[in-house]
Structure 1
Amino acid sequence: MHENLTMLSFLNIFRIVAFLEGLSYILLLFVATPIKYIAGNPEYVKLLGMPHGLLFILYLVLAVLIKSDMKWSTKTFSFVLLASIIPFGTFYVERKYLNLVNS
């Protein structure tokens, strides 16, 4: 029971972090970077860069922590990690691999 509660907690935290990491990445790529290079204003990249980096690292750490409980194969785990560097990838992970837990 306690192990399931811990896993569920890590899973819920992972879901939140995956969403925030994906959102921060999209904002960084499609809002902050164009503003930096088109408008010459690097402030948004500076503002979003550090939080995104921390969320990225947290996403990777949490993926490692829940891997065995989720029974991810090496291929699936590799894809979950790779999704963190693909725009919209973490949203796909949520839909494809994490919603199965609630089914």
Structure 2
Amino acid sequence: MLSFKNIFRIVALLEGVSYILLLFIATPIKYMANDPQYVKMLGMPHGILFIAYVAMAFMLKNDYKWNNRTFMVVLLASIIPFGTFYVEKKFLKPNRNG
């Protein structure tokens, strides 16, 4: 069975992938090919994953024993491309935080 921490790791991965797809594939297609369908298709799932990531970060802050600075890095990573991958590698590994 998946723990809440492992679900957060999965959400972080999916949020990062959806953000990259939205920024580097869907948005250029929207403006260069005048085709907004990919932004419409990826926008809602990304938004849901973003909200889930932020909400779960708040819920897990004490479990991971993040200080305020680390917590801000975790939150800011959700708006920086590839940021959630950094957070996963640096702060979410199971052998590091249990």
TM-score band, normalised by shorter chain? over 0.9
Q: What is the CA–CA distance in structure 2 between the aligned matches of 1:18 and 1:78, rounded to whole Å?
A: 15
Which residue of structure 1 aligns with residue 82 of structure 2? 88
Q: Report how far residue 102 of structure 1 moved.
A: 1.2
Q: Does 1:38 align with 2:27?
A: no
Which residue of structure 2 aligns with residue 47 of structure 1? 41
Which of these residues, 55, 61, 64, is aligned with residue 70 of structure 1? 64
Q: 1:26 is matched by which residue type in structure 2?
A: I
Q: Deviations over 1:33-54 (max 9, x none)?
A: 0000000000000000000000
Q: What is the CA–CA distance in structure 2 between the aligned matches of 1:57 and 1:10, rounded to whole Å?
A: 16
Q: 2:88 is matched by which residue type in structure 1?
A: E
User: RMSD across aligned C-alpha pairs, in angstroms?
Assistant: 1.3
Q: What is the CA–CA distance in structure 1 between the aligned matches of 2:84 and 2:67, rounded to whole Å?
A: 18
Over the matched positions of the two proteins, sequence identity in percent amounts to 69
Count of residue correspondences? 96
Q: What is the CA–CA distance in structure 1 between the aligned matches of 2:95 and 2:71, rounded to whole Å?
A: 19
Q: TM-score w.r.t. structure 2 length?
A: 0.94
Ranges in structure 2 where 5+ consecutive residues have no aligned partner = none
Ranges in structure 1 where 5+ consecutive residues have no aligned partner = none
Which of these residues, 19, 39, 64, is aligned with residue 25 of structure 1? 19
- State the 4+ residue runs in structure 1 displaced beyond 6 angstroms: none
Give the structure with higher Rg (CA): 1
